[in-house]
Amino acid sequence: MNPPLRYAVFGHPISHSLSPQIHQDFARQFGIALEYTAIDAAPAGFEAAVRAFFAGGGHGANVTLPHKAAAYALADVRSLAAERAGTANVLTRLPDGRLAAHNTDGAGLVRDITERHRVDLRGHTALLLGAGGAARGVAWNLLEADVATLTIVNRSPAAADALADAIGDPARAHTRYWEDLAGIGSYDLIVNATSAGVLGQDLDLPFSLAGARALCYDLSYGPAAAGFLAWARAAGARYALDGLGMLVETAADAFELWHGKRPDTDPVYERLRGRH
């Protein structure tokens, strides 16, 4: 019998990751035997750890904070989504030994919102908080989901301007200053792509940002999303969602890329939601 195929998720820290459980759940749907481990790699040792994993027979890896930009940099070939974001959350060993980088964050976010939660984003006014790798990973997909406008706000205006310039659609994607949040009106969709929750910081957002039908979405999940979700509920948002569904959907994209089979994400999501 052939040994199970080897996969991993790289991060720092990584002990909290649900990815091993998610991929094992997906594999059981198809009777696939695989080995999926969580590997804690400090930034200075990330590239060496990844290369050692693939040299030792690894087939594919998911990548999370803080390594997505480094994963993109070390790849030999990159998908369009990865190139747009400048980051990668999936690495795959090609038959010739090269590494391919993908970014499935934006597709996973939009699919979670539109398919799982049945919210049509067409015509929505969207506010994107943050302009780093997480924001870049989802910005284009939000526009492709036909939001009417995408306003990017970041504590460092230069990063927000750079993202808007990269998008190149000034009629729809533009920036505002963080200091102006109290006076820029309300939005239908507010996406928190900052690292504030992960760092235990308070965003201190005005309640006026949340429109009557607002969907507030934190790309993090679990305790890291708690503060933003509490703000969203207090602001009267219609929906206050964390990124657990996005995590499951991005994992499904990676699984399909590696195995050629699309898993059923709903039972996995429901099982995890019952525990978090």
The tens digit of pLDDT for each residue in 187-238 reads 999 999 998 888 788 899 999 999 989 999 999 999 999 999 999 999 999 9
At 94 the pLDDT is 97
d(CA 239, CA 213): 8
d(CA 218, CA 197): 9
d(CA 122, CA 68): 29
Q: Please check whether residue 175 is in contact with residue 184, taking contact to mean a CB–CB distance below 8 angstroms.
A: no
Averaged pLDDT, 127-155: 96
Dihedral pair phi/psi, residue 184, rounded to 5°: -100, 5
261 a catalytic residue: no
At 179 the pLDDT is 95
At 173, is the secondary structure helix, strand, or coil? Answer: strand
Q: What does pTM read for this prediction?
A: 0.94
When pLDDT is cut at 50, 70 and 90, the band that residue 276 belongs to is low
Cα atoms in the 13 Å half-sphere on the side-chain side of 10: 28
The tens digit of pLDDT for each residue in 160-175 reads 999 999 999 999 999 9
Among 68, 111, 136, 259, which one carries the catalytic annotation?
A: 68
d(CA 267, CA 99): 31
The tens digit of pLDDT for each residue in 29-84 reads 999 999 999 999 999 999 999 999 999 999 999 999 899 999 999 999 999 999 99
When pLDDT is cut at 50, 70 and 90, the band that residue 24 belongs to is very high
At 198 the pLDDT is 80
- CATH architecture designation of domain 106-242: 3-Layer(aba) Sandwich (3.40)
The tens digit of pLDDT for each residue in 151-162 reads 999 999 999 999
Q: Please check whether residue 223 is in contact with residue 196, taking contact to mean a CB–CB distance below 8 angstroms.
A: no
Averaged pLDDT, 92-112: 97
Averaged pLDDT, 11-20: 92
Q: What is 5-103+246-273's CATH topology?
A: Rossmann fold (3.40.50)
Domain range list for the chain: 5-103+246-273, 106-242
Please name which of 21, 259, 239 lies closest in space to residue 116, comparing C-alpha atoms. 239
Cross-strand partners of 128: 152, 191
Cα atoms in the 13 Å half-sphere on the side-chain side of 17: 23
